[in-house]
Amino acid sequence: MSTRQDTKKAVLLLSGGMDSAVCLAKAIDMGHDVYALTFDYGQRSRVELDAAKNLAKKYGVEKHIILKLDLSKFGGSSLIDKDMDIPTERSNGVPSTYVPGRNLIMLSVAVSWAETLGAGSVFIGANVRDYSGYPDCRKSFLESFEKTADAATKKETRISVKAPLLMMSKTKIAETGRDLGLDFSLTSSCYNPAENGEPCGECESCKIRQKGLADAGVKI
């Protein structure tokens, strides 16, 4: 176990989606040595796991771990419960695609690995502009979690939770990825892709992604 903290080291939550990919490119551009963490949490879209593998390989991360943690046993979200329909329209409240406590769980595991590595930060591609219905994407949650992580780790451990895309629009996220040279074809954001990986084009995630890329002038 490392005993000295290295602010250059960072653990990054890599889902394989557009936001996490831009977050990865951003973290590397900032000079971080990235350790990527992907969760196989029982999500209906298995394509994103392959996308995460491809992105980790493309960017040459220090290490990539895919951790199985099957939240589908709990249910409660259309992303992990095949009996629930994937919504095609924006919800007025918390959408059914919200996985209860997902970011709380994943960030906790990321902090555990970061402390083991002696890493100084954890990156997450959370965004509130397009998914404001997700309570675990709010700035207040991330700030509160950082304080909790500080209280839960060794006194010499200081881990910063970084969410560089938090207040960006999807267009701004697409522009950032474009400017950093991201190959968006490596990413998968669809909630309900076909077996061959083709996006459905109908879910809310597809629609927001398509508009963001189009507004940024990105063609795939």
Q: For 39-55, how does the pLDDT look when each residue is reduced to its tens digit (9 = 90+)?
A: 999 999 999 999 999 99
| DSSP secondary structure letters along 107-164 | HHHHHHHHHHHTEEEEE----SSS-TT-GGGSHHHHHHHHHHHHHHS-TT---EEE-T
Residue 3 has pLDDT above 70, yes or no: no
Classify burial at 181, counting beta carbons within 10 Å of its beta carbon; exposed 0-12, middle 13-18, buried 19 or more. exposed
- Domains of the chain are 7-215 (3.40.50.620)
Residue type, 208: I
- Stretch 19-30: mean pLDDT: 98
Q: What is the pLDDT of residues 115-162, one digit of tens each?
A: 999 999 999 999 987 655 789 999 999 999 999 999 999 999 999 999
Model confidence at 76, pLDDT cuts 50, 70, 90, reads very high
Percent helix, percent strand, percent coil in the chain, to nearest 5: 40, 15, 45
Q: What is the pLDDT of residue 131?
A: 54
Structure tokens at 58: 């493309």
Angle at 185 between CA 33 and CA 208, to 5 degrees: 100
Block residue for tokens 């769980």: 105
Q: Report the distance separating Cα 94 and Cα 194, nearest Å.
A: 26
Q: Which amino acid is at 174?
A: A
Q: Report the range of poorest mean pLDDT among 2-6, 41-45, 68-72.
A: 2-6
Cβ atoms of residues 100 and 139 within 8 Å: no
Q: How far apart are CA 164 and CA 145, in angstroms?
A: 16
Residue 132 pLDDT: 57
Tell me what pLDDT residue 203 has.
Answer: 92
Q: Measuring CA to CA, which residue among 19, 54, 52, 22 is closest to residue 37?
A: 52
**pLDDT grade for 2, boundaries at 50, 70 and 90:** very low
